[in-house]
Amino acid sequence: MGSEKIQASIIGSGNIGTDLMFKIMKNSQYLSMGAMIGIDPASDGLARAARLGVPISADGIDGLLALPHFQDIKIVFDATSAKSHLVHNEKLQPSGIKVIDLTPAAIGPYVVPSINLEQESDAPNINMVTCGGRATIPIVNAVAQVTDVYYAEIVASIASKSAGPGTRTNIDEFTETTSAAIVNVGKARAGKAIIILNPASPPIMMRDTVFTYSATVEPEKIEASMHSMVQKSAAMCRAIA
């Protein structure tokens, strides 16, 4: 690859997509912004992207496909909604672009980077589960590495102000996809996910709580496994930044 960065596009100019754009532009060693795509010409996210010199389109997925440099874009992050992602993925797959799904659509394999990124990295569509899932499923998996987890439950509490229209549209899919990934990736026998939109002002910081019902094992083994998983997660974040 040399020093040339990989061009990436973001579909979804809301809170999640805009935040990701800033992270790529400020921190990424490997990615550059090829385009920011939305459906609202008055979107604040599109306006910010334009001010930063990022190519934009308010014509959705068709606008992305029509960009003159579309063939140079190798990765597309979809930060819209689960239902919209079904359409976006169908239109992107023929191009051979790597699609990273930030919605709970779960078309591709569930991926929680600190657990199974290497195993699933060749998939044409990677489902990143949910924000709450990525934060909590490594902990469930860490417990499952040392004892049987009969049931795992996660509660994700986020500021209502941070939840845009796409996030609110995805509430049902959030619980279903995260619950499935707790079993599929976390290795619990059964799982449940709950999301809380807290309207407190000033807005709260995101907080995730994990509960497991598991077979008896020395607490020290669970603590050591969780500590190892936290270190692995932190190291992976530094490596892919």
Tens digits of residue pLDDT in 186-228: 999 999 999 999 999 999 999 999 999 999 999 999 999 999 9
Domain range 6-103, its CATH number among 3.40.50.300, 3.40.50.2000, 2.60.40.10, 3.40.50.720 = 3.40.50.720
Phi, psi of 194 (to 5 degrees): -130, 135
Can you tell me the distance from the alpha carbon of 135 to that of 233, in angstroms, rounded to the nearest whole number? 9
Whether the link from the prior residue into 202 is cis, omega within 30° of 0, is yes
Q: What is the pLDDT of residue 239?
A: 67
In this structure, the chain runs to a length of 241
Q: What is the pLDDT of residue 241?
A: 57
Q: What is the pLDDT of residue 49?
A: 98
Q: Where are the beta strands (DSSP E) in 160-190?
A: none
Q: What is the CATH architecture of 131-240?
A: 2-Layer Sandwich (3.30)
Q: Which residues make up the CATH 3.40.50.720 domain(s) of the chain?
A: 6-103
Q: What is the pLDDT of residue 165?
A: 87
Burial 19-40 (b: 16+ CB within 10 A, else e): ebbeebeeebeebebbbbbbbe
**CA distances (Å), origin 65, targets 23, 47, 49, 90, 154:** 24, 20, 18, 12, 38
Q: What is the pLDDT of residue 1?
A: 43
Which pLDDT tens digit goes with each residue over 66-82? 999 999 999 999 999 99
Q: Which residues make up the CATH 3.30.360.10 domain(s) of the chain?
A: 131-240
Q: Which of 31, 131, 181, 193 is catalytic?
A: 131
Can you tell me the distance from the alpha carbon of 225 to that of 236, in angstroms, rounded to the nearest whole number? 17
Mean pLDDT estimate for the chain? 94
Q: Is 237 noted as a catalytic residue in this protein?
A: no
Q: What is the pLDDT of residue 236?
A: 81
Q: Is the dihedral of CA 128, 132, 135, 137 positive or negative?
A: negative
Q: What's the pTM?
A: 0.90
| Weakly modelled stretches of the chain, pLDDT under 70 | 1-3, 239-241
